[in-house]
């Protein structure tokens, strides 16, 4: 089995990178990490990757006069590593239409909300402020508009009455660590097609019925 070569782009602690590293440690997983790349030399995730012998690259955005120059340097690293799928995992640079076009449908992102709700930053704070009963995370193909694009996998988690931002973020992050490897596996197995701007997943089961929150368990 030829395993899909991943390029994982990070800017920080890299817990989602770690989830992908753990998934790829299983020899039956259909992807492998060809390179972990950061725009910041101090990204903690690079240490996680280096500890596993995964090739690491640092492309500091400040070394380049403009966004596209930076992205061309990133693109070169990815192509040299033979990457077939780019996974953004807490990569804190907005990508230009040039880069998004160059990696069209081979570029996915994980975002800490149930998109299209709460694109952008501070998603957990905003979910609490809005009083939503469910929050979660999304893995989606990247389009030029920030936090938009065909959705591959989502996980919903309940928002609990005594949640603060940290508690809710931790619950969502645990879901992220399940979603990203699943999404990569589905893509690597060739089970995701993009049809009319939406991602269609072949042969995957979905939960039936509704989840309620609050569920008023006493009356059910
Ligand atoms: C995650 O919450 C991810 O959804 C968002 O940035 C965060 C990165 O966390 N895009 P980590 O670096 O993977 O721990």
Ligand 1 geometric centre to CA of 156 (Å)? 16
> Which single residue is written with the structure tokens 């753990």?
22
Q: Whose CA is nearest to atom 10 of ligand 1?
A: 90
Mutate to test the pocket of ligand 1, among 8, 15, 168 (most ligand atoms within 8 A of CB): 15
Q: Are strands 107-111 and 134-141 parallel, antiparallel or unpaired?
A: antiparallel
Ligand 1 geometric centre to CA of 27 (Å)? 25
Mutate to test the pocket of ligand 1, among 13, 47, 87, 90 (most ligand atoms within 8 A of CB): 90
Same structural domain, 114 and 197? yes
Q: Whose CA is nearest to atom 5 of ligand 1?
A: 90
Q: What is the mean pLDDT of residues 44-72?
A: 96
**pLDDT tens, residue by residue, 149-201:** 999 999 999 999 999 999 999 999 999 999 999 999 999 999 999 999 999 99
Same structural domain, 89 and 141? no
Of 103, 127, 151, the domain-final residue: 103
Residue 76 has pLDDT above 60, yes or no: yes
Residue 218, pLDDT score: 67
Active-site residue set: 111
Same structural domain, 21 and 71? yes
Residue 209 counted as domain residue: no
Residue 220 has pLDDT above 60, yes or no: no
Same structural domain, 98 and 177? no
**Nearest ligand 1 atom, CA 91:** 10
Residue 13 beta carbon below 6 angstroms from any ligand 1 atom: yes
Q: How confident is the model at residue 1 (pLDDT cuts 50, 70, 90)?
A: confident
Note the pTM of the prediction, 2 decimals. Answer: 0.97
Residue 85 has pLDDT above 80, yes or no: yes
Contacts of 17 (CB under 8 A, 6+ apart): 8, 10, 33, 36, 45, 48, 49, 89
Same structural domain, 127 and 182? yes
Q: What is the mean pLDDT of residues 99-127?
A: 98
Q: How confident is the model at residue 217 (pLDDT cuts 50, 70, 90)?
A: confident
CATH code of the domain in which 196 resides: 3.40.50.170
**How high is the mean pLDDT of the chain?**
96
Question: How many domains, in total, are found in the chain?
Answer: 2
Q: Which domain holds residue 124?
A: 110-203
Q: Whose CA is nearest to atom 2 of ligand 1?
A: 112
Residue 208 counted as domain residue: no
Residue 182 counted as domain residue: yes
Same structural domain, 50 and 76? yes
């Amino acid at each position: 089995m030829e395993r899909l070569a991943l390029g994982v782009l990070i800017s920080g602690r890299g817990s989602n990178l770690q989830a992908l590293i753990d998934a790829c440690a299983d020899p039956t997983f259909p992807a492998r990490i060809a390179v972990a790349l950061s725009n910041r030399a101090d990204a903690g995730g690079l240490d996680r990757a280096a500890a596993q012998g995964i090739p690491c690259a640092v492309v500091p955005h400040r070394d380049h006069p403009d966004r596209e120059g930076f992205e061309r340097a990133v693109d070169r690293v990815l192509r040299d590593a033979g990457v077939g799928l780019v996974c953004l995992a807490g990569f804190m640079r907005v990508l230009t239409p040039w880069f998004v076009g160059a990696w069209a449908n081979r570029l996915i992102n994980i975002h800490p909300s149930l998109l299209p709700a709460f694109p952008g930053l501070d998603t957990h704070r905003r979910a609490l402020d809005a009083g939503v009963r469910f929050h979660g995370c999304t893995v989606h193909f990247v389009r030029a508009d920030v936090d938009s694009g065909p959705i591959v996998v989502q996980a919903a988690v309940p928002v609990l009455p005594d949640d603060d931002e940290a508690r809710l973020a931790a619950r969502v992050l645990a879901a992220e660590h399940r979603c990203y490897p699943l999404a990569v596996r589905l893509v690597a197995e060739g089970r995701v097609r993009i049809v009319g701007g939406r991602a269609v997943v072949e042969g995957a089961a979905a939960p039936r019925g509704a989840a309620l929150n609050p569920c008023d368990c006493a009356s059910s």
